[in-house]
Amino acid sequence: MTEYNWPKRDASTVIGKELDRVDGLVKATGAAKYTYDINLKNQLYAVALGCPHGHCKIKSLDISAASSVPGVVHVHVFDHAQPDREIEWEGELLVVVAAESEGAAREGLSKVKLEVEKLDVFTSAEDLQAAEKAGRTSKGGGKVETVNEPGDDDDEEEFVEKEIERLLKESKYVVEGYYGIDAITHCCLEPHGSTVEWKDGTLEAHLSTQNVSGTDEQFARDLKVTADNVTVHCDYIGGGFGSKFAPDYWGIAAAQISRETGRPVKFMLSRDQELKIAGNRPSGYIKVRLGADEKGVVQVWDSVSWGSAGAQGGAVSHSVLPYVLVPKNYRRVATTIKCNTAPSRAWRAPNHPQACAMSQTALDDLAGKMGADSYDVFLANLVNATNEKADVYREQMQIAAKLMDWKAKWHAHGKGGARGSIVDGLGMALHTWGGGANESSCLLKVYPDGGVTSFCGTQDLGSGTRTVCSQVLAETFGLGINDVRVNIGSSRYPNSGASGGSTTIGAVCESHRRAAQDALVKIFDLAAAELKVAADTLEAVGGKIRDRNNPAKNLTWQKACSLLGLKPLETTASYVRGTPSPLSNSGVAGVQMAHVEVDRETGVIRMKKFVAVQDQGLVINPKTCKSQIYGAVIMGIAAALFEERITDPATGVFVNAELADYRLARLGDIGEIVVELYEPESERIRGVIGNGEPPAISPKAAISNAVANALGIRVPVIPLTPKRVLDALAKA
Amino acid sequence: MKAFEYAAPATEKEVLQLLSPEPSRTEILAGGTDLVGLLKKLVVTPDRVVNIMEVESLKSIQVLPGGGVSVGTAVTLDVIAEHSCLDVYPAVRQAIHGINSMQLQCQGTLGGELLQRPRCWYFRQGRGLLSTEVETGANRLHAILGNSGPAKFVSCSRIAPALMALGAEVRVIGPGPNDEKRLPLADLFQTPQNNEERENTLLPNQLVTHIILPPVAGRTCATYEVRHGEGPEFPLAAAAAALRMDHRGVVETARVVMGQVAPIPWLSSEAEQVLLGRVVDERVAEQAGEAAVSRATPLSENTYKVQLAKVAVKRAILLAAGLDCGDFRSHARQIEELV
């Protein structure tokens, strides 16, 4: 039985090194083929008609004129687009036209005659009263915890009400606030879609997906074939963020059209469709009352929250409110609102960014009310940390504060003084996440000539999966990363879990390290016989298998592999999710700080500096790890300052569903970003933990808090647009 | 995109021959940064697209006898921004730099920038230039001035305010093969009153060939845009100011034009009146800003733009007068100087 482990820090030669991505060059030169780049011989181009209204009933749909447009080969009508069916969000695809060219397909689409009966539309998720009046609300759950418990004869609700009021009354400081964060879209640079082809009854699907190993079965189920008849390929993907786990009904339609026409079909969503239907994050709004003691430690929390996850209901879960720092007494009640917007999808740490922005802003307002340093108030409230990470947060806060030069820059809320109309401010927030390894299997081949190649049905979301797999294999065999070949991105390879929940790096490190260590045991046995030493004294270092006690006794890697005989050595190793392992772990913390400037005359906010301190156990590649955090912070800045899904209230139309109108952060908007990987030995020995999501959680709250510190008032709802800043200043 | 006939004439006369007198049958292609998107979205569906980038006479920049500069409408924005002939018109250069996109600057042309279609998202989604949905809809980026009629969109040209403030004229040819006229740039723009009208006064078979900037004649000028971020998105409000001041700094002539606030570039005589005969300082500039928006009639969601337009006017005037405008950039400059 192989004893799986990681080499110690000082013994590592590849792991923990800032290596360039193995696929960096092909990505930078355009040689890498994303799904959007896949074009097959004789393929048809498919485009789709989306529903033009937020809520309507289909009266009639006439495709005859579309079918007769020159070049149009096939017109596909979705089952949900039949007469009398109700459509509940704008953009829902109704008809697909496949043609010899994209132009012909679009012209065909323009000939589709659709008649609808418009129904009532509701999109104002922030307006709880209006939602109640429109009958759009449902109970979203809640929870109450109080230190004192009701007696046997007490009415529980009445007791809680009195207890909360008593605790608030006895609090030294009470904050009452309103906070919110609007829905945003995933905005994948590469839209959802696929290019598919049937060959001899089997489907080859090039799919932009974060779930290579899982989507073959999904295709098979909907196409009524067995999964062995489907192969999914995805070598590179241009963004998923939680929205690309399935072929989606448009992927199934592509396969159906391909089967019916006998031709390959390319069907990628248009940009506006990508924004409208292919993924969004639920909105969240909250009214909070909190009470704190003289040290600023929150003793009681009382909140009512609401929001919308779209037409199918749901909202931010109350279970993460207040976020991380939870007092012993709390009452939280949630309401969900059904809006005529597309259903939400998982977005980078589902629920956490909203919960952080909806609650750690209130904590910052407590600091404002106390006239205290926000740092000190967060520090004091670490006693309420529910994830047993208080000590880690404390150390991370110290590091972040030093990198930000917090103490020198700090001023009380609204007391910083202005230079003309410009004021500046500091804010912070902290977060938590799991990031445990997903299931993963790896088939490894070591050839008698020394070649090493692995096969794993995982995918690289852009975070460097190929690179870290290469590093793990290279480290294990004492080779360089260019001496090994990593194959991923095909469902023909051994199963590996979907890339969701920050589970990929743990998954692939588990499977690749295990397979490599299993292989190395066998190679050591052969080498030991050749060198006439005990196998357990051998090590693989610098391209050699050598005696640890007498390095002069060694074989080159190639020589050692030649002992395998004529056939390559094959090992397959699997990791079952949730199995305790020395190689991976779960549970991380993270602290972020923002320094902003605000122009009080225009309401425009500029990022000055952002500091992110993040733990993720053992870091395989600090370079790709930091890149992941940079990306998360930039995404967070975009959501904090720019991103808005703007809908027309009368029609439910998502009016800014184009990149020209849907504002994102640009390079000039992000200021200086400082990333610090928190990896003391106490964290390193825990093994690998995913960090794809955690650093995307705190930016919104940290930036909102910095703006509140600058202005001395809270701009309640994120994104903090000039309009909202000016509106808040006008009300103050 | 609907299939269309493509033509690439080599002379101005050929362009006129290829343009249809009927509205919407032909569209002019220059840099294409606007037109291609409209074609793809089927917002415009011409039978013929006439590419004017092969017409050499449209690509010239010339100093005119007696001063002033003539710039062909097919000259790309990056060339204009770098050309020494335009050194004395910093407001134009500032507007081009504000576009913040090398791609748009290198591909976009002067004529295309001036005559690009409105960014109104209702229009861009095929719901019409004069959609009645705007009035009670998502109108946060729409007009706060000149919006009493059916047109609620804003003129989105970045350069037009600067050119108008400087008194630019345009040379227009057509519809007849020998027809040619010069008119003030302001006369190129109109607020459409019905769906048959566009936001410019050109006939379908007319072409703007050149912009003529008069001699600077001792004037100073500046453009100031209030931008949400540092990307290529359109500003929330903008203004350009051109001032002539005597040796004491007293304003003798002034012209202030606002962008992104009305269906046309909005000339503010109110701001001009505040400035005439006074020495520019922050208070005077602020008063001019207030005067410029005194007749604003914001829609349901865009009251904040009144403040932004006011600030844009104030800061454009301060910059034109050679004073600090107090924004992020001037703050950053001050810090650099301290260091």
What residue ranges do the domains of chain B occupy? 219-338
A97 in Cβ contact with A112 (< 8 Å)? yes
Position B338 pLDDT exceeds 80: no
User: In the predicted model, what is the mean pLDDT of residues B24-33?
Assistant: 97
CB contact under 8 A, A646 and B334: no
Question: Which one of B37, B124, B226 has the shortest CB-CB distance to A604?
Answer: B226
Tell me which residue of A280, A285, A282 sits closest to A126, measured CA to CA. A285
Suggest the residue from B42, B117, B125 to mutate for an interface test with chain A (most A CBs closer than 10 A). B125
Query: Cβ neighbours of residue A129 under 8 Å, at least 6 residues apart?
Result: none
pLDDT band at A321 (very low <50, low <70, confident <90, very high): very high
CB contact under 8 A, A422 and B331: yes
Position B27 pLDDT exceeds 70: yes
Distance of CA B49 to the CA centre of its chain: 23
Q: Are strands A173-181 and A717-718 parallel, antiparallel or unpaired?
A: parallel
User: In the predicted model, what is the mean pLDDT of residues A705-719?
Assistant: 98
User: Which chain B residue has its CA at the smallest distance from A650's CA?
Assistant: B137
User: Which chain B residue has its CA at the smallest distance from A724's CA?
Assistant: B304
Position A563 pLDDT exceeds 80: yes
Residue B220 CB neighbour total at 10 angstroms: 18
Find tokens 């569209």 and name the residue.
B27
As given in the structure block, the two tokens for residue A181 are: 């964060």
Q: How many helices (H) and strands (E) does chain B have?
A: 12, 12
> From residue B138, how far is each of A123, B131, B265 by CA, in Å?
12, 12, 22
User: In the predicted model, what is the mean pLDDT of residues A40-58?
Assistant: 98
User: In the predicted model, what is the mean pLDDT of residues A110-126?
Assistant: 97
The CATH number of B219-338 is 3.30.390.50
**In chain A, which residues have their Cβ closer than 8 Å to the Cβ of B301?**
723
- Residue A257: helix, strand or coil by DSSP? helix
Q: Report the pLDDT value the prediction gives residue A565, as an integer from 0 to 100.
A: 96
Q: Report the pLDDT value the prediction gives residue B330, as an integer from 0 to 100.
A: 75
> From residue A377, how far is each of A94, A294, A330, A337, A398 by CA, in Å?
53, 11, 19, 34, 14
Per-residue pLDDT tens over the stretch A2-35 = 899 999 999 999 999 999 999 999 999 999 999 9
User: In the predicted model, what is the mean pLDDT of residues B77-83?
Assistant: 97
Residues in chain B: 339
CB contact under 8 A, A419 and B37: no
User: In the predicted model, what is the mean pLDDT of residues A407-412?
Assistant: 98
- Residue A500: helix, strand or coil by DSSP? coil
Angle ∠(A487,A492,A498) on CA atoms, nearest 5: 75
User: Which chain A residue has its CA at the smallest distance from B101's CA?
Assistant: A666
Q: With pLDDT > 70 as the criterion, what percentage of chain A qualifies?
A: 100
Q: What CA–CA distance (Å, rounded) separates B69 from B194?
A: 36
Taking any CB pair shorter than 8 Å as contact, residues of chain B touching chain A are: 1-3, 37, 40, 42, 100, 119, 121-122, 124-125, 127, 133, 136-138, 140, 226-233, 236, 301-302, 304, 307-308, 311, 324, 326-328, 330-331, 334
pLDDT band at A376 (very low <50, low <70, confident <90, very high): very high
Q: What is the least distance, in Å, from the CA of B250 to any CA of chain A?
A: 24
CB contact under 8 A, A107 and B3: yes
Q: Report the pLDDT value the prediction gives residue A320, as an integer from 0 to 100.
A: 97
The CATH number of A35-50+56-119+192-268 is 3.30.365.10
Measure the CA dihedral A571/A575/A580/A585, to 10°: 110
Per-residue pLDDT tens over the stretch A212-224 = 999 999 999 999 9
Measure the CA dihedral B272/B274/B278/B279, to 10°: -80
Q: With pLDDT > 90 as the criterion, what percentage of chain A qualifies?
A: 98
Tell me which residue of A390, A651, A501 sits closest to B134, measured CA to CA. A651
Q: What is the least distance, in Å, from the CA of B230 to any CA of chain A?
A: 5
| Residue ranges, CATH 3.30.365.10, chain A | 35-50+56-119+192-268, 365-434+585-731, 437-575
User: Which chain B residue has its CA at the smallest distance from A103's CA?
Assistant: B1
The CATH number of A365-434+585-731 is 3.30.365.10
User: In the predicted model, what is the mean pLDDT of residues A519-529?
Assistant: 98
Suggest the residue from B33, B331, B334 to mutate for an interface test with chain A (most A CBs closer than 10 A). B331
Q: What is the least distance, in Å, from the CA of B223 to any CA of chain A?
A: 16
Taking any CB pair shorter than 8 Å as contact, residues of chain A touching chain B are: 102-103, 106-107, 110, 419-422, 597, 599, 601-604, 606, 641-642, 646-651, 653, 655-656, 658, 660-661, 663-669, 721-723, 726-727
User: In the predicted model, what is the mean pLDDT of residues A557-581?
Assistant: 97
Position B26 pLDDT exceeds 90: yes
Q: What CA–CA distance (Å, rounded) separates A650 from A646?
A: 12
pLDDT band at B334 (very low <50, low <70, confident <90, very high): low
CB contact under 8 A, A419 and B233: no
Q: What is the least distance, in Å, from the CA of A671 to any CA of chain B?
A: 11
Q: Report the pLDDT value the prediction gives residue B2, as an integer from 0 to 100.
A: 84
User: Which chain B residue has its CA at the smallest distance from A110's CA?
Assistant: B42
pLDDT band at A1 (very low <50, low <70, confident <90, very high): confident
The CATH number of A437-575 is 3.30.365.10
- For chain B, the distance separating the N- and C-terminal CA atoms, rounded to the nearest angstrom, is 55
Question: Which one of A103, A597, A722 has the shortest CB-CB distance to B308?
Answer: A722
> From residue A287, how far is each of A176, A180, A310, A360, A719 by CA, in Å?
7, 9, 21, 13, 18
A237 in Cβ contact with A462 (< 8 Å)? yes
Angle ∠(B307,B312,B314) on CA atoms, nearest 5: 95
Q: What CA–CA distance (Å, rounded) separates A610 from A671?
A: 7
Mean of the per-residue pLDDT values of chain A = 97
pLDDT band at B1 (very low <50, low <70, confident <90, very high): confident
Position A80 pLDDT exceeds 80: yes
Percent helix, strand and coil across chain A, each rounded to 5?
A: 35, 25, 40
Position B333 pLDDT exceeds 70: no
Position B337 pLDDT exceeds 70: no
For A15-29, give one letter per residue: b (16+ CB within 10 A) or e.
Answer: bbeebebbbeeeeee
